[in-house]
Structure formats: structure tokens, C-alpha cells
């Protein structure tokens, strides 16, 4: 059985996940919701529905293509994914990708992300974020949790708390997503049957 480094939390206290969230979101400023919008649905319904059934599988698939450095395949699969979403959600994900490109502009490395921006700047936030995570060498499950955090933060009613206080946001996210890691591991097991989740 092939072993993939898709989850890492050596302390068992969630510190690796918080580190992944902090590294992956540096400079990314989302001004409007991605797919999740608190005014349209609850976080629980979104997370256990559209996120687990549609967004995580796409995230995993794009991650596999990025590991193969197959830019053309990333673009093709992402376009198919966006075409199958309702237009409003597709538009929101496309608009969100610009925040990833803007955050990494001028950064050293990021070769694959620069190529994606040059050839498909209108891609989904999901695809751009996966490429961004690969450049930080963040394990897959941690990356998906980071992506869940970005969806959660972008879709929350901004009047409830100050987004400037990231620690407050992280604590609230963890409180509202108690089963987040376990659910993500179950989805990973479903889509990565030939891999072993390394904890």
C-alpha cells in the first residue's frame, strides 16, 4: 500500500493544522463569500453537504494533478468543475482566485502558480489555493482544513466578530467545526483508497 503524507499533527493538539491555516492564508484577503455564505445556509449544512460531496473531491483531484505538474489537466478539470456549479457559485469562486494570485505576486518560487495565473487567471479559488498549498508543502488533509477555514471565514456574517483578530477567528472556526478533521479523513479514505492516511 502506498503511503502518502496527507496528514500531519505530531503534537496531537491541532498545532499543525493551525500552522497550515496561517501559512496558507498569508496575504489572502477575501472580500466576499466563496461557496459558503452564512446568509444562504448554515456552516454545518454546507460542510456536510456541498463541501464534503463536491469541493473536497475537486480539491483532492486538483492536488493529484498538481503533484504530477500537469497544468493543462488542472485547467481542464477546473473548467469542467466550474461549468457544473450554479453560475453564481462559479462566479464567486472565479473572483476569489484573484486574491490568491495577488497575495503571491512577486514571491520567490511559486512557479506553478505563476504559470496557472498566466494561462488561466479565471480559474477557481479552489485550484489556485491548492497550487498555493503545494508551494508551502502542506499535507493534503491539513490543506483541506485550511481551505475549509477560508470558506468559513469568507462566508461568515462579518458583523459577528472582527476578522482582524485571526486568533479569534481560528478559535471560533474550531468550535464550529469540531468534527472537521474526522469528516475530512473519511472523505480522503473514500477518494484515496490506495493511500494510507499518516497521522
Q: Among all chains, which residue has been given the C-alpha cell 455564505?
A: 37
Q: Which helix (H) or strand (E) holds 2?
A: strand 2-4
Assess whether pLDDT exceeds 90 at residue 79: yes
Three-state SS for 195? strand
| Tens of pLDDT, residues 131-158 | 988 877 888 888 888 899 899 888 986 6
pLDDT tens digits for range 96-111: 999 999 887 756 657 7
Structural domain count of the chain:
1
Counts of helices then strands in the chain (DSSP H, E): 10, 2
pLDDT at 172: 72
Instruction: State the residue range of the domain holding 57.
Output: 2-197
Distances (CA, A) of 9 to 6, 13, 14, 124: 10, 7, 6, 28
Which CATH number do you get for residue 51? 1.10.4190
Amino acid at each position: 500500500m502506498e503511503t502518502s503524507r496527507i496528514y500531519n499533527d505530531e503534537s496531537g493538539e491541532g498545532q499543525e493544522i493551525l500552522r497550515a491555516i496561517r501559512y496558507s492564508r498569508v496575504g489572502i484577503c477575501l472580500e466576499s463569500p466563496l461557496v459558503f455564505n452564512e446568509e444562504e445556509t448554515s456552516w454545518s449544512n454546507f460542510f456536510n453537504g456541498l463541501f464534503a460531496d463536491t469541493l473536497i473531491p475537486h480539491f483532492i483531484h486538483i492536488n493529484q494533478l498538481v503533484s504530477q505538474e500537469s497544468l493543462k489537466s488542472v485547467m481542464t478539470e477546473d473548467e469542467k468543475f466550474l461549468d457544473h456549479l450554479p453560475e453564481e457559485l462559479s462566479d464567486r469562486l472565479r473572483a476569489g482566485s484573484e486574491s490568491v494570485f495577488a497575495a503571491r505576486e512577486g514571491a520567490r518560487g511559486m512557479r506553478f502558480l505563476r504559470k496557472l495565473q498566466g494561462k488561466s487567471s479565471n480559474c477557481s479559488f479552489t485550484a489556485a489555493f491548492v497550487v498555493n498549498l503545494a508551494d508551502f508543502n502542506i499535507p493534503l488533509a491539513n490543506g483541506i482544513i485550511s481551505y475549509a477555514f477560508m470558506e468559513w471565514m469568507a462566508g461568515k456574517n462579518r458583523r459577528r466578530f472582527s476578522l482582524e483578530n485571526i486568533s479569534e477567528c481560528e478559535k471560533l472556526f474550531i468550535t464550529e467545526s469540531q468534527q472537521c478533521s474526522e469528516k475530512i479523513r473519511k472523505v480522503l479514505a473514500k477518494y484515496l483508497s490506495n493511500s494510507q492516511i499518516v497521522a
